[in-house]
Amino acid sequence: MIILFAVIIQLLLPLSPLSADSLNQQTTPTEIIDLNKFPLFIRADFSSDYVISGFIPFGKEWIVLSPSADGNRSMRIIDIEEFSQHHFLSFNRHKPQEYTYAIPFYVSSHQYIFLNKPPNPMLALHLASIGDNWEVYLNGKLLRSEIHRDVNGTIVQHRNYRDVLIPFSATLLRNGPNNVVFRIIGDPASPLVGLNSSAPYRIGPYTYLKSKVNDLVDVTLSLIYIFIGIYIILSNLTKYAYI
């Protein structure tokens, strides 16, 4: 059986796009801006004043999440005690509420030069996941809106997305202080409201980030195919063992 399993693995490994060399080449350039390395400010409302360029979140109404030492940070509403209405095994639904996520971040001169030099005409904001309805602003500029509500404020189309890439012109980024703001709308008891994966949340060249997202999709599909292949082969072997 061990020999047979080894043969199966040898047959399925070509499906995977990952090799030792490709893994070694997947290091992230230091010029990529990791937003999890900066404090996150959250409050339980939204105002157009919060997205004005140069706005600084200040006051007791803001909950502050510290920067992440390892690049991972939990940022769902249900993980924030002051806002969460989530209860274990409860299926109660609540009226959608609005929240503001603000991440003031700093771009060094080295990063700014790298992100503005050819061939980087377009940058992108990479969000590991976001929901339920939302808008994203960078330095006062709306980058993308996914708000779909009726006149009563009920969400009519859900927008819980993973690995979102939002392209934008490099001219929006500044040398020095910057600010990205998320308008988040959703049920405070839902695990899908907020930035609901731990990482990555970053800014970098669009082509680079797009290649990373595509690589992740390829890896995921390859792993699915591998496990399906193993399951089918082992199922057939078990069936023939009883004949």
Q: What is the mean pLDDT of residues 107-111?
A: 96
Residue 207 phi/psi, 5-degree rounding, is: -65, -40
Share of the chain above pLDDT 90, in %: 67
Q: What is the mean pLDDT of residues 124-147?
A: 98
The residue among 174, 184, 187 whose CA lies nearest residue 105 is 174
Is the model's pLDDT at 6 over the cut of 80? no
Share of the chain above pLDDT 70, in %: 75
Q: What is the mean pLDDT of residues 207-229?
A: 56
Q: What pLDDT is attached to residue 120?
A: 73
Q: What pLDDT is attached to residue 17?
A: 40
Q: What is the mean pLDDT of residues 93-101?
A: 94
Q: The whole model's pTM is what? A: 0.78
Q: What is the mean pLDDT of residues 113-129?
A: 92
pLDDT digits (tens, 9 = 90+) for 136-168: 999 999 999 999 999 999 999 999 999 999 999
Q: What pLDDT is attached to residue 242?
A: 53
Q: What is the mean pLDDT of residues 74-91?
A: 86
* C-alpha span between 223 and 13 (Å, rounded): 10
pLDDT digits (tens, 9 = 90+) for 35-59: 999 999 999 999 999 999 889 999 9
Is the model's pLDDT at 19 over the cut of 70? no
